[in-house]
Amino acid sequence: MDLFAWLAFGCYLLAFFIVSLFAAAYLKRSDFMPYHGQAVGRPWAEIDPRMQVLLMALIRVVGAGWIALAGAGAMLAWLIFFGGHLALPQLLAFQLFCLVATLPPVLVASGVRRRTGARTPVPAGAAVVLLSVIGFVLALLSLPQ
């Protein structure tokens, strides 16, 4: 593997590591994130107990989904870069997977921020998307001409 491929792999791995940090934060919660409270304009203690149950279930589902995304993304990156599958069709499919999985949460967080003023983690989510795009460009540069 050349330097561009190593850098591309590193970008993808860092992106999925950030996703796994989000997942861990969501899975460890016993109440909603501070920006959730900002968005709804109430502290956790003022949320109806039945609504708390529903919100915690949704938060845990999101966390579990992000763990699955991070694991699948890291495994796919490993297969592409170290399994002999570094070719344009595989890279395109992988990048599409990355964008479909990481761009919607950024757009949703951005919309919540815009509509409520809550300090959602848009910059961190955007960094994940950007890392995948940089990884894709670097991977393209590593392909044989």
Give pLDDT tens digits for 57-92: 999 999 999 999 999 999 999 999 999 888 999 999
This prediction has a pTM of 0.93
Which candidate, 115, 105, 125, places its Cα nearest to that of 40? 115
Q: In the numeric block, which tokens belong to residue 65?
A: 């989904």
Mean pLDDT of the chain: 97
Asked if the model's pLDDT at residue 1 lies above 90, the reply is no
- pLDDT for the residue numbered 129: 99
Q: Cα separation of 142 and 82, whole Å?
A: 13
- pLDDT for the residue numbered 85: 84
Asked if the model's pLDDT at residue 5 lies above 90, the reply is yes
Please provide the size of the chain in residues: 145
Asked if the model's pLDDT at residue 106 lies above 90, the reply is yes
Q: In the numeric block, which tokens belong to residue 127?
A: 């960094």
Q: Cα separation of 65 and 25, whole Å?
A: 13
Q: Cα separation of 83 and 103, whole Å?
A: 27
- Specify whether the CB–CB gap between 4 and 135 falls below 8 A: no
If DSSP codes are grouped into helix, strand and coil, which group holds residue 85?
coil
